[in-house]
Amino acid sequence: MTSFTRAVAAENSGDLEEARARYLEVLQTEPQNPRALHRLGVVELRLGRPREAVILFQKSLAIAKDLDVYLDFGAAMAALDRWDAAATVYAAALRVAPASVDAHYGLALALHRQGRPQDAEPHYRNVLATHSHLGEVHNNLGVALQDLGRVAEAAAAHREAARLDPSDATAWSKLGVALHRMGRGAEAEAAFRKAIGFAPQDADNWHNLAGLLDAAGRPAEALAPGRLAVALAPASARNWLALGNAAHAAQRLQEAWRAASAAVLLEPSDPAARNNLANALRELGRPQDAVAQYRAALDLQPDFPVAEINLALLLSSLRDADGALAVLRTLLARQPANGEAWRRLGGVLAEAVRPDAAVAVLRNAVALDPGEPDAHVDLAMAAAMAGWSTLSVDACRRVLRLVPGHAAALGQLVHQQRLLCDWRDLDALESLLLRRVREGAEGVSPFDVLSCASTLADQQSAAARWAATKARGAVPVARPAASAALDGRLRIGYLSADFREHAMGHLMVDALETHDRSRFAVTAYSTGIDDGSALRQRFEQGIERFVDLRRHTDADAARTIAADGIDILVDLTGFTTFSRTSILAARPAPVQVNWLGYPGTLGAGFVDYIVADPTVIAPGEEGFFTERVVRLPDCYQPNDRRRAIAEATPMRAECGLPADGFVFCCFNSAYKLTPALFDGWARILAAVPGSVLWLYAGNPQVAANLRREAEARGVDPRRLVFAKPLPHAEHLARHRLADLFLDTLPYNAHTTASDALWAGLPVLTRCGTTFAGRVAASLLRAAGLPELIVDDQEAYEAAAAALARSPDRLRDLRQRLARNRPVCPLFDTPRFTRHLEAAYRAMWESHRVGGAPQPITIATDDTGGPKSAMQGEGEAT
């Protein structure tokens, strides 16, 4: 037996060291023996010495071009992860033997591993042309096709592999991946479960199932397979990431944090793991820790748009608008076509109360992605903030074309069309909006519902869903154990965005200044802008403590209020513009109250009381208010006794009014006007020849639309006169030129009615069926003019015409109003404040004895002061 024969025998028996020795013997005598060089190379490869094997294969091939040597050489290069070299060797093999299945397969694998699936595909297919029974090749072809985005073809390849071997767990798993990418979730789930059945210990199968269930909106179901994947392969960061994603979506926040932390521990240089950990920390209410992790992710991968956008949104929520803008602008400098980044930039600008800039940015977002409804929604909102109602209407209509059932856009559209007095198809839109509210649609602003022909039940339903949204993520704050002030005073906090030149500011300033400081410690918490006005300065100087929370996050603001030991927190903003309801959701005060800013229920379990009066909330309506109703004896609305009226009265001509003729006026916001109301006004003008209707129109489009509506009703458009904006004192002075204020319904005049009465102008109103539609009636009763309240449209029109024809009666009303003004409850702010304080004491007493909030009615003594605060399960009488 020759040395070569003995070497081959030793190799075949597995005695590799003996084989190596014998092949070396052969090469000592025959150093150019290609077969010995080849076989020794194979032995070295099997002994784990691929580098030595490569040298031997090269020597053998230099002597003779042999297919088997090329194939083994290619395997050696693959073992060294030298896939480029392996591809070169297998290509050389094909030049020697073009039909070699092994060479084609080796080249396919080498090309695929280099990230060249398009070059690998024909070689996989060449193998399958003669060896179609090889499931492994079908699977690898499928992976290449998936890499090329040809997912349906990939699924077919994996399905064929599974057909050839129904127990091939790999085939089922890869088929599931392809089907998932195709959006065929049920089939993908079935495939993954088949894979699990055949290979239950393969963590990848559980990982894939967890990802599928999470993506399908079934995160609670994804948790179990995610946990199994982690248990089977705890050293795999991707498994922890998948579990963390499912836990995050399932609101299992602590588990999401633990999973993301494990992923970061295993792969500290993985930016995706850092981003996920930041997401978890953000949801746990640890925003600063989240910021640090987002920044760590971006240090690892500066070009990471998802993390950049997440960081920017978090910074914006932390009131760091400059930081958020810097992050997004850096991203956009690098990716100017990133529509999502433009949209988020617009949102940050809007949040920072820079609506004009937000509109410009959001135009870019919709231009880049016109089919993205969220971009149009954001543009609609920013345009509304900027006062560009026409643009807002257009954006809302685009949203509804893209998503016909979009409730928020529908509500916004209705409100913006009302602001423009654009009544085209308005009745149908309002009916649709109310239907959506009654169906339980989310996203409808309760404020948009108030001015529709809505019921108290509609308003409560919309408010409850809105409040629940605002409460998401709010974490209750810790309050001091002893909340009673050391000086024995009750600590009242007023929360508002409107401590400035604003209708609410004018109403509440005097009442807040008039509090009895010996019994009440008053703090104003401002979340709105400082407009530098005299009214703002009056708030800051006239209230015991003034705290600016505008740049505080909701959580920080709640902590500040709680740390101050506030006993009763009164929200003066409600669901109007710039509200910060999430502050209340954190429960910074033991008693929380809804008053003045929003004429309706907040629908929130975290608000205990609503301040009202017997007119705006009639007995028996308490069930439509989530809060307990507190009824003050006269009117729920305070007024400012120091409200200045300019001494000089403008000439009629200066205001565009005719020299003669009766002047009806209504200075309400345009959104309170309705087609039915305008029908009635047209009939009143027809009944009073020579009369004009004086309206407020801040937007020129309003005047144009109303003139068109007047003409359509047979009224000369010139009989409509439009008032321009003026400083408040001058605005009050021009009321002297009007003869009668005509109120609106279903949303009354509120501050505008008290302005008119303060200026000496009688107001004619109809009493509606909701809080917002009864405010003027409450004001008139408190002013001593209840006869100006009528019940229906016919009486309203008849009364307006009759007063216009009865100058003596109208003069009598003006004189009574002038006599009443110094003494009537409506303008007696000290009287009002004593009643309000009595209500606060009753609220606090109920809390002090450990009882639940109860309805409260403030009665008066003979002097008009508070006599008692009556409480009970039913409304006290």
- The number of C-alpha atoms within 13 Å of 30 and in the hemisphere containing its C-beta is 13
- Angle, CA of 631, 635 and 638, to the nearest 5°: 115
| pLDDT of the residue at 877 | 26
- SS3 for 116-171 is CHHHHHHHHHHHHHHCCCCHHHHHHHHHHHHHCCCHHHHHHHHHHHHHHCCCCHHH
CATH number assigned to the domain covering 656-827: 3.40.50.2000
d(CA 257, CA 254): 5
* Model confidence pLDDT, tens digit, residues 614-650: 999 999 999 999 999 999 999 999 999 999 999 999 9
* Residues ≥6 apart with Cβ < 8 Å to 313: 324, 344, 347, 348
- Angle, CA of 218, 222 and 224, to the nearest 5°: 140
Q: How confident is the model at residue 594 (pLDDT cuts 50, 70, 90)?
A: very high
**Pair 367, 343: CB distance under 8 Å:** no
Amino acid at 180: H
Residue of higher predicted confidence among 88 and 1: 88
d(CA 141, CA 125): 8
Kindly state the tokens that stand for 120: 């690998």
Residue of higher predicted confidence among 215 and 864: 215
Average pLDDT, the chain: 94
Per-residue CA distances from 782 to 772, 809, 876 (Å): 17, 20, 21
Percentage above 70 pLDDT, the chain: 98
Q: How confident is the model at residue 50 (pLDDT cuts 50, 70, 90)?
A: confident
Could you check whether the bond before residue 746 is cis, i.e. omega within 30 degrees of 0? yes
Residue of higher predicted confidence among 692 and 76: 692
Q: Provide the H-helix boundaries in 763-874.
A: 775-783, 793-804, 807-820, 829-848
| pLDDT of the residue at 876 | 31
Pick the CATH number of 3-244 from 1.20.1600.10, 1.25.40.10, 3.50.50.100, 3.90.1150.180: 1.25.40.10
d(CA 153, CA 136): 16
- Lowest mean pLDDT across 364-378, 448-462, 471-485, 838-852: 471-485
The pTM of this model reads 0.83
d(CA 225, CA 216): 14
Question: Given a cut of 90, is residue 759 above it in pLDDT?
Answer: yes
- Angle, CA of 206, 209 and 213, to the nearest 5°: 140
List the domain boundaries for the chain. 3-244, 656-827, 830-871
Question: Given a cut of 60, is residue 484 above it in pLDDT?
Answer: no
| pLDDT of the residue at 482 | 59
- Going by the DSSP 8-state scheme, the letter that residue 850 receives in this structure is T
* Model confidence pLDDT, tens digit, residues 570-583: 999 999 988 999 99
* Model confidence pLDDT, tens digit, residues 367-421: 999 999 999 999 999 999 999 999 999 999 999 999 998 999 999 999 999 999 9
Kindly state the tokens that stand for 693: 């209707």
* Residues ≥6 apart with Cβ < 8 Å to 667: 694, 695, 696, 723, 731, 741, 749, 752, 755, 756
Dihedral over Cα of 620, 623, 628, 630: its sign: negative
Q: Any bridge partners for residue 870, and if so which?
A: 857
Kindly state the tokens that stand for 285: 């209410």
Pairing of strands 490-496, 663-666: unpaired
Q: In what order do the strands lie in the sheet with 520-526?
A: 545-548, 520-526, 490-496, 568-571, 591-594, 609-612, 628-631, 856-860, 866-871
d(CA 552, CA 317): 9
Pairing of strands 720-723, 692-696: parallel
Which one, of 742, 761, 770, lies nearest residue 668 by Cα? 742
Farthest CA pair distance, the chain: 141
Topology alike, domains 3-244 and 656-827: no
Which one, of 129, 529, 128, 583, lies nearest residue 141 by Cα? 128
d(CA 423, CA 416): 10
Which uninterrupted H or E stretch holds 525? strand 520-526
- The number of C-alpha atoms within 13 Å of 724 and in the hemisphere containing its C-beta is 4
* Model confidence pLDDT, tens digit, residues 182-200: 999 999 999 999 999 999 9
d(CA 507, CA 36): 104
| pLDDT of the residue at 337 | 96
* Model confidence pLDDT, tens digit, residues 496-507: 999 999 999 999
**Pair 599, 576: CB distance under 8 Å:** no
If you average pLDDT over residues 824-830, what whole number do you get?
A: 97
**What are the counts of helices (DSSP H) followed by strands (DSSP E) for the chain?**
40, 15
Q: How confident is the model at residue 485 (pLDDT cuts 50, 70, 90)?
A: low
